[in-house]
Structure 1
């Protein structure tokens, strides 16, 4: 097998991965990695919740009227942080497993 044949097979393999039935770009990637989309969405939601929680939660604690309200708010934030960390670890673990799976090998003669 010559180098031209190897290059043609690699180009064919790359074009097959990058697009499904002529699609390319984001739609082609989504077609190939459709199973990873929910985990990516979960991670995006967790980042948004942490960002909003950092700004809104600190403001809530400053405006709390009683020590019990502050303590209750801290416990709710701690519970939310714990749950979100567990969910993020599960999502990252799934993504690592998804993207580390070996793809089918190149065509052999």
Structure 2
């Protein structure tokens, strides 16, 4: 985050994902409910993709409910030394929500997965 405005410092591709999962809903043992709360930051092809989303069995293709939702993309064009920014909300709101991920943990939505890949 400290070098977000310096794409020349980025590795070729990288990502960080934080997921909170209800394994019973995800596997179908329980038929209804929130099964995934996720925060993702992916960088590839000089584009930073940022997402926070809640998924539910009845609407698993997109955001569900009243939880914080964030979609953003920052395109760093190295040739033109310009960037294009597309954000639903201020980036600070995404960081604050992801930092407070424990607020989304419940008795059933409690499986925590973190995946980090830096090439």
TM-score by shorter chain over 0.5: no
What is the TM-score when the length of structure 2 is the normalising length? Answer: 0.28
What is the TM-score when the length of structure 1 is the normalising length? Answer: 0.30
> Based on CA coordinates, which of the two structures has the bigger radius of gyration?
1
More helix by share: 1
